[in-house]
C-alpha cells in the first residue's frame, strides 16, 4: 500500500516551453503533497507544500509563478515548470501524506521525474 506515482519519469524539452509533472497517490487519499527538487549528488530541497483544494505554500526563494502547483483532488497534484530554462534541469520528486493515523507522519515518495531543458 501507499504507492505514489509520477508521470513522466523523464522529460526533455526545449528552453522556453512549459512542462507538467503529475503526482498521484494510487491507493490512499493524500491531504498534503510536497514537491522537492534534487540536484546531482545533493539532498532534496523542499519547493512547496500543497493541500487539496487550497493554494500551495512555497519555500523561500522558490518562484510561485515559475513553478505552478495544483492540488485539485485528494489523489493528484501537478507541478508545471513554466518557460523552462536549462537551470531548471533537475530531478523533481513528489511525496504525499495521508489522512489519518500513521499516514500523517510518513511521506510516501514518488519515483521522481528527471527534467532536462536544452
Footprint of another protein on this chain (CB under 8 A)? 6, 32, 34, 36, 41-46, 49, 91, 93, 95, 97, 104-112, 114
Q: Which is nearer to another protein, 18 or 42 (CB)?
A: 42
- 45 phi, psi to nearest 5 deg: -115, 125
Let me know: does 24 contact 109? Beta carbons within 8 Å: no
The least CB distance from residue 98 to another protein, in Å, is: 11
The least CB distance from residue 11 to another protein, in Å, is: 14
Q: Which is nearer to another protein, 83 or 106 (CB)?
A: 106
The least CB distance from residue 83 to another protein, in Å, is: 26
Rounded distance, CA 81 to CA 85, Å?
9
CB atoms within 10 A of CB 95: 21
Q: Which is nearer to another protein, 86 or 102 (CB)?
A: 102
Rounded distance, CA 14 to CA 84, Å?
8
Amino acid at each position: 500500500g501507499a504507492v505514489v506515482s509520477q508521470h513522466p519519469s523523464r522529460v526533455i524539452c526545449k528552453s522556453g516551453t512549459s512542462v507538467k509533472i503529475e503526482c498521484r497517490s494510487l491507493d490512499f487519499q493524500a491531504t498534503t503533497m510536497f514537491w522537492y527538487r534534487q540536484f546531482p549528488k545533493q539532498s532534496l530541497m523542499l519547493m512547496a507544500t500543497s493541500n487539496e483544494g487550497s493554494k500551495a505554500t512555497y519555500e523561500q526563494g522558490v518562484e510561485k509563478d515559475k513553478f505552478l502547483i495544483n492540488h485539485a483532488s485528494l489523489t493528484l497534484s501537478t507541478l508545471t515548470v513554466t518557460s523552462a530554462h536549462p537551470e531548471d534541469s533537475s530531478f523533481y520528486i513528489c511525496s504525499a501524506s495521508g489522512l489519518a493515523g500513521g499516514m500523517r507522519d510518513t511521506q510516501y515518495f514518488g519515483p521522481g521525474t528527471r527534467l532536462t531543458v536544452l
